[in-house]
Amino acid sequence: MISFQFDRSQPISWLTMGLVALLLAVQLWLTLRNETITGQRKTVRLVLNGLLWLVVLGYVLQPTWTVTASTRHALLAGEDVPDNFRQKIGDSLHIREVLTRQTFKPERYDSVTLVGQDFSPELLSRLSRQVIRWIPYTAPDQVQTINWKGIVQKGEMQQVTGNIQSSKKQRIKLMYGGRTLDSLDIPKGAASFTLQFPVFTLGRTETELVLDNTPLDTIRFFARPLKPLAFQFVLGTPDFESRALADWLGKNGHSVQVTSTLSKDITNKLTINRTSAKPDVIVTDPSNAGSAVVKRAVADGKSVLFINLTSPEADFRLINQALGSRWQAKKVSNEPLVPVGSGLNALPYTFVTNAAQTIVPGYPVGVQRTTGTIGVSLLGETFPLKLSGDSMAYNRVWNAVLARLQPATINSVDLDAPVFARFREAIRVNNLPTRPSAVRLGSDTVALTYSAINPLSADGYFRVSQAGWLPIGDSLATYAEGSGLPTLAKSRMVNAYALAHANDQTNRVVADRVTETRLPGWAWLLLFVVCLTSLWVEPKLG
């Protein structure tokens, strides 16, 4: 459709059109009254003058028309993406225009596929009008994603999970002071990994993630001291396993009371680190599941751990009848014991899956939560680990088990790591009896929003400007990553942008672009030159 720039309400428009009409009249009058040229020459001259007049009329009216242009899609690759991967993605998506940051002009495209992570916030901000799709890229043998706990208790299991693109089959491990804490063989290609270890340090702690012999990242977290707990052992007869465990708990600062029934009227008691507090955890065997001490502990919301099982199917029935739990066992071998680790054996049974229970990672120990917390261990004797000098393995086993039985910590703080400087991060606090309105983080305060379901739990959000250790309150800290993990930081930034952008694109359909077009100035000049030149040349040809 063609439209013209002619404003009927303006007198100047009518005056201009009058002058154009007068120009046509003058052209016709001058040509027709010329008696010196033949009729054929007059016809040619009339046509040329008519063309000149049409050009003048068009220039005055400035005709415009709409043009429908097809949508244009581009693939924009970051500087971290190699040429072969860039071209491979372009070919698979059938995108001919594969651009870099230097050659990209956002206004020319309706939709953009981003490949890689190396994009600046300034560039991303220029893509607000385009439909965005993101394809991440990570170089081989580099971490793609990684997570761990930013704040843990001593004795708690620290777990590091992530994804990596491995160039070959190789070993990934966590190391501390030259000692391997946990390791895992990963296959060639895309692989996920989970590494864990019981926290044995206090305060600011750094471990190293290593692929074969190449350091990948530094895992920084804060280990808070474990509040001493009160343990009570309720046993039928003394045994080496429970005595070794009680001794280990006492050496780790917990108070322990061991009660053994030697005969009907004879009871033996042993106390380590005496305390007047009620027991937080009862350690017993299935034969005592119906005792008043065990039942009262579960009714009061305390934890009970059953050890020294001999026949899980029969033992589970005793525990379930006494405490209302739902333990079930399935036999997996006819051997009396099956290996579950170096120097560690267990009964040949496994737990039947139950929605109310969790399994301690790496060990045949389950935990169910009823009114209280009920744990059951299918492990055989663990004290031989201590006797053989492998105290680290012994510590790992019981730290992992007891971490699941600990009562809720007062004023606990949870942070998902890594925390990045200049990014919005979340902090969660639980079991806050005083309900503070904010928590101090570095030199700033973070406002807390309390949960409508749990009035003792709150969330807050913060953003730090610099990397390094930041104090939280008076006794905790967290580490903000700066340049140490540039690929992960950029990946989080692009992913956050793509997710936010997707909300605006949910119902958005990229339609063909309709643009209004007119002749440019150079085209009008060319038309004038051609017409005037024709009128000047025509008399000379006669």
Percentage of the chain exceeding pLDDT 70: 89
Collect all residues with Cβ–Cβ distance below 8 Å to 46 and sequence separation of at least 6. Answer: 28, 31, 32
* Secondary structure class of 258 (helix, strand, coil): strand
- CB of 299 within 8 A of CB of 372? yes
| CA-to-CA separations, 126 to 217, 286, 536, in angstroms, rounded | 32, 67, 52
Which residues are paired to 67 by β-bridges?
515
The answer to whether 424 and 463 are in contact (CB under 8 A) is yes
Q: What count of other Cβ atoms lies within 10 Å of the Cβ of residue 356?
A: 11
Dist CA 445 CA 149 (whole Å): 22
- Asked if pLDDT for residue 66 goes beyond 90, the answer is no
Q: What is the DSSP letter of 361?
A: T
Lowest pLDDT segment from 217-226, 255-264, 330-339: 255-264
On the 0-12 / 13-18 / 19+ scale of CB atoms within 10 A, 307 is: buried
- Residues 272-305 pLDDT 10s: 888 877 899 999 999 999 999 999 999 999 999 9
Distance from C-alpha of 100 to C-alpha of 91, rounded to nearest angstrom: 16
Backbone angles phi, psi at 379, to 5 degrees: -65, 145
- Across the range 476-502, mean pLDDT stands at 71
Helix (H, G, I), strand (E, B) or coil at 310: coil
Answer yes or no: are the C-beta atoms of 144 and 136 closer than 8 Å: yes
**pLDDT (0 to 100) of residue 510:** 47
Q: Which has more confidence, 51 or 318?
A: 318
Instruction: Quote the percentage of the chain above a pLDDT of 90.
Output: 26
Q: Rounded to whole angstroms, what are the CA distances from 495 to 124, 163, 168, 236, 465?
A: 11, 16, 27, 58, 20
Of the candidates 161, 165, 98, 111, which has an alpha carbon nearest to the alpha carbon of residue 137?
165
Q: Token pair for residue 477?
A: 């800290």
pLDDT at site 493: 67
pLDDT in tens, 468-486: 899 998 889 999 887 545 5
Provide the pLDDT confidence category of residue 503 given band limits of 50, 70 and 90. low
Q: How far apart are the first and last CA of the chain?
A: 42
Exposure string (b/e) for 81-97, b if CB count within 10 Å is 16 or more? beeebbeebbeeeebee
Averaged confidence pLDDT in the chain:
83
β 438-441/189-198 pair status: unpaired
Structure confidence at residue 487 as a pLDDT band (50, 70, 90): low
With bands split at pLDDT 50, 70 and 90, how would you rate the model's confidence at 69?
A: very low
pLDDT tens digits along 429-456: 888 778 888 888 888 888 999 988 888 8
**What pLDDT, on the 0 to 100 scale, is given for residue 504?**
57
**Residue 513: CB partners within 8 Å, gap ≥ 6?**
68, 69, 70, 71, 110
Alpha carbon of 298 to those of 245, 276, 301, 339, 372: distances in Å?
21, 19, 5, 32, 5
What confidence tens digit (pLDDT) does each residue in 100-131 have? 667 777 767 777 888 877 777 777 777 777 77
Nearest-angstrom CA–CA distance, 362 and 365: 9
pTM beyond 0.75: the answer is no
Res 9 pLDDT > 70: yes
The CB-side HSE value for 342 (13 A sphere, CA atoms) comes to 9
